[in-house]
Amino acid sequence: MYRLYDYLPSGNSYKPRLLLSLLGIEYERIDVDIMKKETRTPAFLVKNPNGRIPALELENGEYLWESNAILCFLASHGTPYMPTDSLAAAQVMQWMFFEQYSHEPFIAVARFILMHTDPSDPRRAELETKMDGGYAALDVMEQHLAGRDYFVGESMSIADIALYAYTHVADEGGFDLAAYPGVRAWLRRIADRPGHILITDA
Ligand SMILES: N[C@@H](CCC(=O)N[C@@H](CS)C(=O)NCC(=O)O)C(=O)O
């Protein structure tokens, strides 16, 4: 059985948790409290030398880390969430790299700052830049979703899961999705999927 090293509020951890639920795969969930620096202990650094969750422990004892790599691994065993066509598979990667470079560093980090720092914290000064970057990513998503139900092809893929994780809680980072009807319709589509779980669901 897989073992997922997880922290419930984390969107990055939620990505594999959501996919495992959609695929109906049983696994053991291990809580790692990032606020108590539990990802930085010698015991955890053996699992992920980069000191971050999520990390997936495989049945053979190997560890896989980086949320989107875990999604690729779990989806690439003949599941509907990873296309077999090579161009479509590369487009899934395209959106997952976009998520890590142009989306998560803004929307996830703004959410982290608002959720975990008090108003006098010097990190609050980063918020303006984070909002600009986050809205730029939402603009790209809105434009792409015009006339489309999902990011790649006609069905939901791990590109959607990667982008859903922090977009659906973007309000907790101070983002207003009112001007993004395509994004909001897409979020509802994912939330209605059988097997969908909430980010707060263990
Ligand atoms: N690129 C990584 C980012 C992982 C990441 O930033 N994890 C955060 C929680 S969302 C973490 O473990 N932070 C604890 C720390 O840095 O000590 C991924 O997608 O998995």
DSSP 150: S
Residue 92 has pLDDT above 90, yes or no: yes
What percentage of the chain reaches a pLDDT higher than 70? 100
Which of 47, 52, 116 maximizes ligand 1 atoms within 8 Å of its Cβ, making it the mutation to test the pocket? 52
Q: How confident is the model at residue 200 (pLDDT cuts 50, 70, 90)?
A: very high
Across the chain, mean pLDDT equals 97
Q: Return the ligand 1 atom nearest residue 65 CA.
A: 20
Fold of 2-75: Glutaredoxin (3.40.30)
Atom 2 in ligand 1: residue holding the nearest Cα:
66
CB atoms within 10 A of CB 90: 11
Domain boundaries 86-191, CATH class: mainly alpha
pLDDT computed for residue 180 by the predictor: 98
Q: How far is the CA of 116 from the centre of ligand 1 (A)?
A: 15
Q: How confident is the model at residue 44 (pLDDT cuts 50, 70, 90)?
A: very high
pLDDT computed for residue 202 by the predictor: 87
Atom 12 in ligand 1: residue holding the nearest Cα:
52
Break the chain into its structural domains and give their ranges. 2-75, 86-191
pTM for the model stands at: 0.97
Q: Mean of the pLDDT values across residues 76-103?
A: 97
pLDDT computed for residue 39 by the predictor: 98
Q: Which tens digits make up the pLDDT trace of 157-182?
A: 999 999 999 999 999 999 999 999 99
Query: For the chain, first and last CA: distance in Å?
Result: 16
